[in-house]
Amino acid sequence: MEHTRITIIDSHTEGEPTRVVVDGAPDLGGGSAADRLERLRREHDNFRSCVVNEPRGHDAMVGTLVGEPLSSESAAQLIFFNNVGYLGMCVHGTIGATVTLAHLGRLQLGRHRFETPVGDVAVELHTGGAVSVENVRSYRLIENVSVATSHHGTVKGDVAYGGNWFFLVNEPEQVVSSRRLTDLTAFAVDVRQALRRSGIRGDEGAEVDHVEIFGLPERDGADSKNFVLCPGNAYDRSPCGTGTAAKIACLAADGKLAEGQTWHQESIIGSQFEGSYRVVPDGNGVIPTLTGRAWITAEATLLVGREDPLSMGIAS
Ligand code: PYC
């Protein structure tokens, strides 16, 4: 049987999986990461599904394409995708891609720049394997707005941007525990549907497609524990870097976290990102830096059989 081959390296960043495509991606031509993402979406969406969806992947898998950068000062372009579509930015995926490129001998310790569809980010690969990501500008757009959900009454929260759009739940308080994954998922899906119905959106009409819930930390030294619902209904096993960036933007706007102070965000599985921020000179938002660790879990070749009726994956 004839197969198309796609070479991948899998890793997890604080529990959340990243699958970097090393070889076998479609030719997306030149241009910015945003241009090339649009070409992938328009012309090769089945490639996305083939790489991350079952039977080769699963709902929590985030895929990453590494491409030629526009600027000679950047190490690469990164394009992120999941079980249902594309992400503007992905911090855990950037950490996973950094560790993967280092594993391949393509990146050394120190500071590097990546181009993403929503702007450039800088990474620092530290001795010992931790990676810090200086993210895109992050900010709160709407403070403490109420939405009427179908099954959980009125829910209040902030709409904020950290490279993706988040609704950060303020009320009602939830017990954030891995024993409550089913209930937390149902609550967050209900909230996201209510946001859609109410027409609450991010800038330029962007869908608020991630919902973030906070509770008491269990880990020593952590400031908060979160549950993050991703667009395709998987929950983030890591504390979600862009979600932590959105949280930090809200804390900064509320005067609850000073510039340079460290925020320790525990994830639903007990892993952690550390984050801090610097203010943007024009005062509009903050530049958060998030630090976490990734581990390589597999080097593999995906085989895509020409006669396999599910060769392009099972759509989520
Ligand atoms: O770490 O930014 C992140 C992320 C976004 C979606 C899943 N992880």
Ligand 1 proximity of 21 Cβ (cutoff 6 Å): no
Inter-CA distances, 263 with 57, 222, 238, 250, 273, Å: 32, 8, 15, 12, 8
Please report the atom of ligand 1 found closest to the CA of residue 230.
Answer: 6
Please identify every residue annotated as catalytic. 90, 240
Q: How confident is the model at residue 192 (pLDDT cuts 50, 70, 90)?
A: very high
Beta strands 210-215; 165-171: pairing state: parallel
108 falls in which pLDDT band (50, 70, 90)? very high
Global pTM? 0.98
129 pLDDT tier (thresholds 50, 70, 90)? confident
Ligand 1 mean position to 248 CA, how many Å? 15
Contacts of 308 (CB under 8 A, 6+ apart): none
How far is C-alpha 232 from the geometric centre of its chain's CA atoms? 12
Cβ(241) – ligand 1 distance below 6 Å: yes
Is the pLDDT at 1 greater than 80? The verdict is no
Q: Two tokens at 219?
A: 């880990």
Residue whose CB lies within 8 A of the most ligand 1 atoms, among 80, 83, 90, 131, for a mutation test: 90
pLDDT at 293: 98
Closest ligand 1 atom to Cα of 62:
7
Question: In this predicted structure, what is the pLDDT of residue 295?
Answer: 98
Give pLDDT tens digits for 27-86.
Answer: 999 999 999 999 999 999 999 999 999 999 999 999 999 999 999 999 999 999 999 999
Structure tokens at 53: 């969806």
How confident is the model at residue 281, as a pLDDT? 86
Helix axes 45-52 and 33-43, enclosed angle (nearest 10): 90
- Choose which residue among 87, 229, 233, 237 to substitute to test ligand 1 binding: the one with the highest number of ligand atoms within 8 A of its C-beta: 87
- Answer yes or no: is the C-beta of 212 below 6 A from any ligand 1 atom: no
Distance in angstroms (rounded) separating the CA atoms of residues 53 and 216: 33
The response to whether residue 90 sits with its C-beta less than 6 Å from ligand 1 reads yes
Contact present, 288 and 273 (Cβ < 8 Å): no
